[in-house]
Structure 1
Amino acid sequence: MQGHLNESLHLSILIASYGIPVHFIGSIAHNRQAKLRLHGWDPKNTSKMHFHNLQLPSLSSNPPKLNAYTKFPGHLQPLFDASLQLRKPVFQLLQELSAKYRRIIIVHDTLMASVVQDVTLIPNAESYALHSVSAFTIFFYIWESITKKPFQLDCDIPNDKIPSSEGCFTPEFEDFVSKQYKVLNFESGRLYNPCRQIEGRYMDLLEKLPTNANKKQFAIGPLHPVEIKSGCSNSRHRCLEWLDKQEKNSVIYVSFGTSISMTEEQISELAVGLERSRQKFLWVVRSADGVDIAAENDVRRPRLPKGYEDRVLDRGMVVKDWAPQLEVLAHPSIGGFMSHCGWNSCMESISAGVPIAACPMHSDQPKNSILITEVLKIGLLVRDWEQRAKGVTSTSVESAVRRLMTSKEGEEMRKRAMKLGGAVRGSVADGGSSCLEMDSFIAHICR
């Protein structure tokens, strides 16, 4: 998924900045997509890295079993299953690299554990798992699965409000994840995208878990550039020019990531809610990435209600392709973000100091939304996860947008988000917690 690719590539660029040779291993299509959608960095940064393009085997032709109540992108399951066949070519490549270097360090996504498990057979290699979700969500995933709890939680931790994992995944993907975690204990340590300024408490809880005993833990997030360099893109996206003409904090940005496709009914409800809110909005409307992720130009474009764009021309802009989210969130006219609450989007919004109208759809998103709304208190729910079967209504969208953008409650959330954003940006500056943990990780692997 794109979020996982983003984190892996951003981390690779950070490691390369220490003068360490970095080899990025992936399928041809994934490597192309990762580089194509990279933003916030100077594209020249990837020229310092070595990309290894592996050929994925043929995808299964069996149609996925989709469930109307589960919004997880089950259509990607053949791609996940095909990735398991990369174990042999990856091991062969790691053996070749191990002959060239005194030590090789493998950093792998947790969902690719079975592909790199043979690293234990290479004497001069060690591995680190990259967790691509929040410490809060990881902890409660594990806590939910433990029958005999190893310790008591503090009474003010919102344990009673944490959604279960029901409805978050397809059975096929749950089985895939289970296979990864069965072998996930060969790594020397674990890397996390959160930073301690926002999730220190949950990093501490993770470190207390028996499963993490004797494992090095590094909270090195956010894994995206927090200061967007001008001129990083070949051309400035037209939505940024539109934002230039809007007042400060006047626009709500609406985007649900690259793994979610909405039905025409859902799109219609969202469109009506945004229109009735009478607030300015920038809405990214696109279908989820397909199995053939190389076919960027073949993405099916969702249909808006007839005449919609003309009716909202005075206060709304619709983008029907990919948008530079980091630059959008950093723009001074953005005052809120309606999001599915994927962890990358959460971290990007927090770093920019933008409050969130949370509309979780699947995976880690329901738990992330509780972190945003109940713990950090920098957002509100568009609708409760328990009501997911009913979908998002125009009334709930209208109400959420107005609360976030025009109410005193929304203004307080905005102030908290801006304060928290400053702390997160400080964490990656010289002497900040994430910068120090990254330095510590580099020193550890270079020992």
Structure 2
Amino acid sequence: MDYLSILLNKKIVPTGPLVRDASEEHHENEKEILEWLTKKRKASTVFVSFGSEYYLSNKEREAIVEGLELSGVYFIWVLRFPFGDKDKPKFDEALPEGYLERIGERELMVEDWAPQAKILQHSSIGGFVSHCGWSSVTESLKLGVPIIAMPMCVDQPLNARLVQAVSVGVEAERGKDGSLEREEIVRATKQVVGEKDGENIRNQNHLFSP
């Protein structure tokens, strides 16, 4: 900061991370979402969201779908498709046949958008399946939620390595061909939510939250 101040001849003061107050978020299904979360045990549920600018391929979505099913956890998933895409599937067609019936009460699927901060600060949330965009990382740190990292592009792989290096999350390693693997998704999810290691990660994450 001192170097930048001298270089620009202006006083530079760090102010981040800046995270929007959860009370500012509103969603038409907010009541339904929060009521569903309230019925779940503490730290038993994962929130799944890959931001507003990245859209999962069919292969990526399939791996995550299978990984979440096999992990045995509860999850709330914000599923997005490109706006105006003529080939955009219907919401229920984006998932394997019979998937929602098999999962039952373990899932809540939300299309396009959800009140992320309000969900992450809920006591039933035990992990955040994230692409590790920087905004999501800082929000997760502020609210004390460990990350199950599945980076996609740009700065996200670096952010994911940082998350794992400081022990506030676990990365689901990709296969040799660069693809997501359901076994890794299961491992990372269980490590954060279903195993003793998860408590250690959550405790470490709270060191970064106010």
Quickly name the TM-score band, shorter chain normalised: 0.7 to 0.9
Match of 1:262 among 33, 38, 56: 56
Match of 1:304 among 81, 90, 95: 95
Alpha-carbon distance change, 215 to 335 in structure 1, aligned in 2, over 3 angstroms: same
Q: Retained in 1: the 8 A contact 2:4–2:12?
A: no
**Residue 233, structure 1, aligned to residue 26, structure 2:** yes
The residue aligned with 1:344 is: 135
Spell out the pairing of 1:317-328 with structure 2 (5 A cutoff): 317-328=108-119
User: Alpha-carbon deviation of 1:208?
Assistant: 4.5
The residue aligned with 1:398 is: 186
Gaps of 5+ in 1: 1-203, 423-447
The residue aligned with 2:14 is: 219
**Residue 413, structure 1, aligned to residue 201, structure 2:** yes
Alpha-carbon distance change, 211 to 338 in structure 1, aligned in 2, over 3 angstroms: farther
Alpha-carbon distance change, 213 to 332 in structure 1, aligned in 2, over 3 angstroms: same
User: Alpha-carbon deviation of 1:209?
Assistant: 7.1
Spell out the pairing of 1:123-162 with structure 2 (5 A cutoff): none
The TM-score with structure 2 as length reference comes to 0.86
Secondary structure of the 1:351 match is helix
Q: How many residues of Structure 1 are paired with residues of Structure 2 in the alignment?
A: 206
The residue aligned with 1:332 is: 123
Secondary structure of the 1:225 match is coil
User: Alpha-carbon deviation of 1:212?
Assistant: 5.0
Secondary structure of the 2:65 match is helix
Gaps of 5+ in 2: none
**Residue 379, structure 1, aligned to residue 133, structure 2:** no
RMSD (Å), alpha carbons: 2.6
Q: Retained in 1: the 8 A contact 2:81–2:112?
A: no
Q: Retained in 2: the 8 A contact 1:266–1:391?
A: yes
Alpha-carbon distance change, 298 to 219 in structure 1, aligned in 2, over 3 angstroms: farther
**Residue 278, structure 1, aligned to residue 66, structure 2:** no
User: Alpha-carbon deviation of 1:229?
Assistant: 2.7
Alpha-carbon distance change, 219 to 209 in structure 1, aligned in 2, over 3 angstroms: closer
Spell out the pairing of 1:178-257 with structure 2 (5 A cutoff): 207-208=2-3, 212=7, 214-226=9-21, 228-229=22-23, 233=26, 235-237=28-30, 238-257=32-51
User: Alpha-carbon deviation of 1:311?
Assistant: 0.9
Q: Retained in 2: the 8 A contact 1:287–1:299?
A: no
Secondary structure of the 1:216 match is coil
Return the structure number with greater relative CO, CA threshold 8 A, min gap 6: 2
Match of 1:355 among 146, 154, 166: 146
Moved more, 259-268 or 326-335: 259-268
- Counterpart-to-counterpart distance in 1, 2:63 and 2:181: 5
Secondary structure of the 1:348 match is helix
The TM-score with structure 1 as length reference comes to 0.43
**Percent sequence identity over matched residues?**
34
- Counterpart-to-counterpart distance in 1, 2:43 and 2:73: 11
Q: Give a deviation string over 1:317-373, Cα, whole Å, max 9, x none.
A: 221221111111111110100100001101111111000011111111111112211
Amino acid at match of 1:275: E
Q: Give a deviation string over 1:294-323, Cα, whole Å, max 9, x none.
A: x6x989356111111111112122212211
Q: Give a deviation string over 1:23-73, Cα, whole Å, max 9, x none.
A: xxxxxxxxxxxxxxxxxxxxxxxxxxxxxxxxxxxxxxxxxxxxxxxxxxx
Q: Retained in 2: the 8 A contact 1:309–1:318?
A: no
The residue aligned with 1:65 is: none
- Counterpart-to-counterpart distance in 2, 1:325 and 1:224: 11
